[in-house]
Structure 1
Amino acid sequence: MNYRNLFKVGFLLFSMLFIVSCSKDEDDNTEPSAETYNTTVEVTDAPIDNAEVKGAFVTITNIKINGKALEGFNTTTVDLLAYQNGETLPLGDVDLEAGATSTIVVELSNDADDKGEAVANYILLEGGEKVELALGTTEIVLTDAAEVVAGANNAIVLDFDLRKMIAAEGEGYKFVSGSDLQGSIRAVNRVNAGAIAGTVEDSNDTAETIVVYAYEKGKYSADQANENASGVAFSGAVNSAVVSETNGSYSLNFLEEGEYELHYAAYEQDETTGEMTFKGMLAVTAATGLDFEILGLSIAARSTTKADVVVTGMKQ
C-alpha cells in the first residue's frame, strides 16, 4: 500500500472540510443587512409673497437621501408655484432604512434647464419676463430630516419655501445663500404629517392681502417681522399661506405632528413694483372662541385641524 498517497488524499480531504467549516462560521457571523423600505420623493412649494411673480422655475439634477440617488430620476425643471396648497410633484423613489434620514441633498443645475436651454433657474414675471436666479452653489444640503417608518407607505415631501429661498435684489431676484438656503427646504414624511385649514373673515377690508404664518408653539416673537440678513421676514415660520382673496380660505400643509401657533400679517401691494409691503400684524378672534395664537393648535398625523378666524383690527 502506498501510504504516501493515502496520506496526501487524507490531508486534502481534511483541508477541504476545514475550509468549508471556516466558510460556514464566517457566514454565521455575518450580520444580516438592514431591511429597507421603498420611499417616494415629492416636491411642493410654500408661496412667495409677491404678486408680480407668476412662476418660479428650478432645475433639479439629482436628489440623494442617505447617500442614495433617486432611482430612474432624470434632470427635471419644475415650476414650484404650480405645486401649492398640498399639491405635489413625485420625482422618484429610493429604498431607505427605518429611522431619521442622515442627509438629504438637492442638486440644482446652474447651466441649463431640462431641455438644454441656457437659463436653468428663473423667476417668471407678469408679462412673461424671465429673471435669472444665479446660484452660488449647486448642492443644497438640507438642515432638516425626515423619519422613515417601517412597513408604511413612506413619501418624503420636500417643501421648497420660495419666500425663504428667493430674495429681492435691486430690480431682480436672487437665491439666498449659506444656512438660509439650506433651511429653505423642509423634509417631512406624509405618514407623519398633518395640516391646518381654515378661513379668515375680514369684512372691514383691514388688509389687502393676508398671509398666515405657522410657528412651532413658543417660537414666535414680534421681531420676526423684521428681515434677516438675507432680506427674509418671518424667517422662523415653519410654513405660510396666502389667504384667498376670493373666499378667504387658506391651508398649511405637511406639518409635522406637534403644537403650532398661527399669526396673521397684513400686506399692501405696491402698484408700481407689484411687491407686497408689510403693513402690520392682525388681531383676530377664533370662531371657536379660543385664541389660537396663545393656546396653539395640536396637529396629528394624517389629519386636518380647522382654524377659522375673524379679523378685529390691527394689533397695536
Structure 2
Amino acid sequence: MVHVNLPAPAYSMKLSGTEWVSLEAWGRRKGSRLFARYKQGHEVLHRLVLSGLRFDLMPGNRLAHCQGMQLWLGFAPKLVKGHLYLHHLDIKKQIEPISMGFPALGRVVVIDPGHGKTNLGTQSIYNKTREKTYTLDWALRLKRLLEAKGWKVYLTRTTDKALSLTDRVKFADRVNAALFISLHFNSASRAVSGLETYCIAPVGMPSHFTRGSPDRINTALPNNTYDTRNLQLACRVHSSMLATCGMPDRGVRRIRFMTVLKGQKRPAILVEGGYLSNPTEAKKVADAAYRQKLAQGVANALP
C-alpha cells in the first residue's frame, strides 16, 4: 500500500468543459470506508471498496477491474494532484450500476443463438464446425437449465433457419421478454482467446470498437433506456461464466453498432463465448461437456 499525505479531493471539477468526479470522494458519499493506493510496476493502482465489491483503476487506462473482472471504461481516468478522477459518465453508467447489485426482473428470457442457415458465422479452426451450429447447441442446453429453475425461455430459433437481426428483436417484443441474451463465438488471430460480453454504450460514451460503423455517441437508441440493467446483467453473466468455465477474461465492453441489441426494449446483452480461431478454445468448444459448462455459466447468473 502506498501512503500519501494529500488534502481531501474536490468532489468534482471541470476539465476541458467536462465534469470529472473524484473516485475517492464519490465512494465516501456512497458509504465506502476503504480507498487505498497500491504500487503496481511504475504506476499506482487506486482501489475503492463499495458494497462489498473491489474496484481497481489506474490513471490513463480505460481497463478497470471489479472483483478482478475486466470492465472497459468509456474514458481513461485522470490523475489530478494525486487524486484519481473519472469521467462523470463512467461514474453514473459504469461504477454506480455495478455497486447497486442486480435487481429482480421478470422471469421471461429470450435466448438468441447467433447466425443460422446461410448465415454461417465463423468457422472452428479445430474441426471446421460453423458458429451457427455451436450457438444453437449452447442455447438448447441453456434453455433446459433455465426452465429447471422456473424461467420461461424462448429461443429465436430452435433449428438451422435464417433469421434477420431485426426479426430477432421483433421476436423478443412479441413474447414480451424481460431479458434478451444473444450467444455467439468470436474470431480473430490464432493468438487471441477469451470471453467478451457486450451491451449498448450510453449516450455520450464512445464505443469500445465500431467495426467500421459511425459511432454516433450523442444519438439515443431504444435500448439506452436500460443502460443500468444492461450493465448489471452483462457483469453478472460475464463473472459467472469466468468462474464456471475458467476462460481468459477479455472484459465487459460497450458498443452501439449491434443491431440485435440497440433496438431492444429490455435489458439485453451479447456474449462471445470464446474464439473459434484459437486452437485451444476451438478444441474446448468442440467438447459437449465444455458447451454444457458454457450453458451452466449463463444459467448460474440468473437467479
Place the TM-score, normalised by the shorter chain, in its bin: under 0.3
Q: Give me the TM-score of the superposition, normalised by structure 2.
A: 0.27
Q: Which structure has more helix as a fraction of its residues?
A: 2
Q: Which has the larger radius of gyration?
A: 1
What is the TM-score normalised by the length of structure 1? 0.26
Q: Which has the higher strand share?
A: 1
